[in-house]
Amino acid sequence: MTPYADTNFFTRWYLELPESHLVHQLAADAERHGAPALPVSWLHRMELCNALQLHVFQSRTPVAKRVTPEQAAAALALFREDQNRREMLRTVSVLIADLEGQLEELSLRHTAKHGFRIYDLLHVSSALLLRCDTFWSFDQKANKLAKLEGLKTILLGVGS
């Protein structure tokens, strides 16, 4: 198994959110079975920083889980530390020209029919270019696209 995790997976890894236990269990199972470290691209790095800050913003509402600025900063620092250790995460590069070509191909095949967003296309395109065979996400639309492209998915939750 060569897994690819999208950013909402990493958000739940680094913040204690309702589905975090699923993320930790899945990562531990993959490690026990010798799966390679999860790829981390420029997209993950940029998107995770914003996702953590978005959780701080959303915690102002009574229904959201409370995430403080300090928790978000600690989560981002731990993510960066894990990238440097390279045991669980591995930094990867995807050439923009390759990504653009793969993304356009997926968009032309699927978006008009299923309504995929750019982030669905970016992550699934990256997974395909990195030759991953498994896609981990809490986003139903991203999982649907991954399945359409032959990647194995695991039902992790609903929403995005």
- Residue 25 CA to its chain's centroid (Å): 16
pLDDT value at residue 160: 40
**Token pair in block for residue 144:** 């649907």
Q: Which two tokens stand for residue 146?
A: 């991954």
Of 120 and 18, more confident: 120
At 84-120, the pLDDT tens digits run 988 889 999 999 999 999 999 999 999 999 999 999 9
pLDDT average, residue stretch 4-17: 95
Domains of the chain, start order: 3-153 (3.40.50.1010)
> Residue 135 and residue 121: Cα distance in Å, rounded?
13
Dist CA 42 CA 96 (whole Å): 11
